[in-house]
Amino acid sequence: MNVNVEEKLFQNRYKVDHGRPHISIVDPSVCASECRTQQCTRVCPASCYKAEGNGNVSLITDGCLECGSCRIICDDFRNVEWEYPRGGYGILFKFG
């Protein structure tokens, strides 16, 4: 079964803080060379993390649902820097 998560996220309302992502990968080389599992690329419910062909992990936070999963599952390397977006920015739930 194939699921297009972007289509789901398209239904949501966001106020993106352009140029100021609230999550970042501390050291991308750790993802590429040390992390074998790259679970963030599978578990993020908004699929913000992508496994690139070259072994790198890319992160685009625009669709982030602010759940915090990526930060907590990166417990082997603590390689995710996670803050809340600035006040008023990020996901805006209509129904919650």
The encoded tokens of residue 71 equal 């930060």
For residue 34, how many C-alpha atoms fall within 13 Å in the half-sphere facing its CB?
9
According to DSSP, the residues that pair with 91 across neighbouring strands are: 14
Q: Is residue 18 a contact point for other proteins (CB under 8 A)?
A: no
Q: How far is the CB of 27 from other proteins (least distance, A)?
A: 18
Q: Give the SS3 label for residue 46.
A: coil
Phi, psi of 56 (to 5 degrees): -80, 160
CB closer to other proteins out of 56 and 69: 69
Select 53 or 93, whichever has its Cβ closest to other proteins. 93
Which of 18, 37, 53, 54: binder of other proteins (CB under 8 A)? 37
- Interface with other proteins by CB under 8 A: which residues? 1, 3, 5, 8-9, 11-12, 15, 37, 39, 42-43, 45-47, 65-69, 71-73, 75, 78, 82-88, 90-96
